[in-house]
Chain A
């Protein structure tokens, strides 16, 4: 029932330094600290002078204690901005990107639902694929956009989810970069009440 093989599903890869960039913005959430620490290490080996032009925006979650940011502090980068929630971080990042110059590269690490929100800001600044690198880690839970009432449901772990509008939605692999969400489509429109078994699939 999950409609797969749809090419809009983003593809991620382990973060690598882009030595062609001049300024480096790194953004992470929770367990995304690990890929960013590894990336800082790679930069340190390949281009230690890049530290002066590297800034990190990091959102801690309960599963990833503040200890993570100690590694960032030790790396001696230009700036570290720590947050306890995603929204204030996104506003702060938007303000920073508004002042950023061409030659900037963006690195994002964390769950896909988080990265989607960061990517949406990046697209607003017309960053292209060759300016952004993203590594997925952490939960596979999805942001789901109900195509009927247009509400967004956070942290969806199941193949089928009930929206606030009371419709039961199948979570498709059809991803919208503009909405930073997967499309949820009513599953029992033709046969009301006939729904496949609900399973946890996005863990």
Chain B
């Protein structure tokens, strides 16, 4: 499916710009020179941040044009309270900083056969769509972008979008009491439309619920949400195959703890959607806390599998077949 995460690309930060009080924009160029791997709009990369205490690996959508491969661009929202990743990006990273990134992976691609694309962005959720706009302009397929932010000041790329897409993009600001009328929008789309939503959890839930109520089939509804791994209570883990015992801290994810113990566990999205890090649960003396969107409800209830990137356990001992 993609290169192993061990196969990271060393990059140097070549530009940093404060876009809004909470959002910084970064541009990365390969240290080795040449071009970065090709990607399609909607792809994300994992940025590996080596902090003083621990290593952070956070997913960020690529927002630059898929046609420009001399550098990649991402935007980082400063999350309060931060587990460390976004604070690291905002405080430690400057022009010249060297980082590692994992190859782009697309879990939020445009449907190639769609007759129309309806893009719904909330806040920082605009980033994957900015890359997709480049792809969409090359096609004849109609599209609409609806972009909601708290206020014009908080809208990272309002002006840019308004200038580039005066006809096909519409902006909404909570501060002006202008909200996307999701029900109205979804109730009048032609057959063969695909809807894509990226933004706050509440917005995604509203779109998914409204789409279902209006008869949209799942195959035409796409969303992306990079939730930081939820925190919880500390617990102990035994990795059966590796014979390793480890401790998961309250603000550390299970996957991060496994990596910190030196185990090369698989991952792609680190956001509980792709299913790549799925691990088999051999035993648990408490309950699993599933936070992913990948396992079915039956699988979650069975207690036989867990997605270590976002899920954890409320127990004293969890045994995984890793």
A155–B243 Cα distance when bound, in Å, is 65
The answer to whether A100 touches B217 (Cβ under 8 A) is no
> Which parts of A123-156 form the interface with B (CB within 8 Å)?
125-131
The answer to whether B215 touches A21 (Cβ under 8 A) is yes
Q: Tell me if A22 counts as interface (CB < 8 A to partner B).
A: yes
How many interface residues does A have (CB within 8 Å)? 19
Chain B residues with CB under 8 Å of A127's CB are: 191-192
A67–B100 Cα distance when bound, in Å, is 72
Chain A residues with CB under 8 Å of B194's CB are: 126
The answer to whether B191 touches A104 (Cβ under 8 A) is yes
> Which parts of A84-140 form the interface with B (CB within 8 Å)?
97-98, 100-105, 125-131
A20/B115 contact (C-beta < 8 A), A101-B188, A102-B191 known: no
> Which parts of B187-240 form the interface with A (CB within 8 Å)?
187-194, 212, 214-220
A127 to chain B, nearest CB (A): 7
A98–B194 Cα distance when bound, in Å, is 15
A102/B214 contact (C-beta < 8 A), A125-B191, A125-B192, A127-B191 known: yes
Between-chain CB contacts (< 8 Å), 17 pairs: A21-B215, A98-B191, A101-B189, A101-B190, A102-B214, A102-B215, A103-B214, A104-B191, A104-B215, A105-B215, A125-B115, A125-B191, A125-B192, A126-B114, A127-B191, A130-B218, A130-B219
20 extra A-B contacts, CB within 8 A, seeds A98-B190, A128-B220, A130-B218: A20-B217, A23-B215, A97-B191, A98-B191, A100-B190, A100-B191, A102-B189, A102-B191, A102-B214, A102-B215, A103-B214, A104-B191, A125-B115, A125-B191, A125-B192, A126-B113, A126-B114, A126-B191, A127-B192, A131-B217
> Which A residues lie at the B interface, using CB under 8 A?
20-23, 97-98, 100-105, 125-131
